[in-house]
Structure formats: structure tokens, C-alpha cells
Amino acid sequence: MNNSIYVIWKSPEKRRNYIVGEIERDGGYSFKYGAELEAAKKEGFQLFLPFQDEEKLYFSKMLFPIFLTRLPDKKRPDS
């Protein structure tokens, strides 16, 4: 079972998707910025306010509130 998801950002100008981070679940949640962060920043991506340190690995016992409303509903037929 995969316990991680990628955080994707779409450039509004070029419409290209960038993997800007990753969330992992293992007895809690962690977030770290991803390999495409620098390319996304050149296209206008701004760091998430709660995660201003690009090098830091963030931990929480619960899913970070910034991501709670961005996950697809489990009732969706394609999830």
C-alpha cells in the first residue's frame, strides 16, 4: 500500500503540472518540498505559508489543514 501522495501545482501560464511536494503517512504525516520546486518557482509558484523553509521536513499527527480541503472525496468513483 502506498502511503504517500504528491502535491501538484499547475502553472497558470504554461498549464504544466509540477510536483512541488510530497505528503507521507506513517503514524502521522510529513510534508517536504519536491524536486520540481525550483522549476515551479520560476513559473510563479510561491511557497505555502505554513511551509516557508524549503529544506525542512514538516511533521504532524494529523493531516496539515492546508491540504484537508484539497484531497478528492473518497466517494468519487475514480478514487
pTM: 0.83
d(CA 79, CA 74): 6
What are 4's strand-pairing partners? 24
pLDDT tens digit string along 14-72?
Answer: 999 999 999 999 999 999 999 999 999 999 999 999 999 999 999 999 999 998 877 66
* Strands 58-60 and 4-10, sheet pairing: unpaired
Max CA distance (Å), the chain: 38
pLDDT value of residue 78: 61
Amino acid at 31: F
pLDDT value of residue 79: 52
d(CA 56, CA 77): 35
pLDDT value of residue 56: 97
pLDDT at 13 over 60: yes
Q: Which three cell numbers stand for residue 13?
A: 501560464
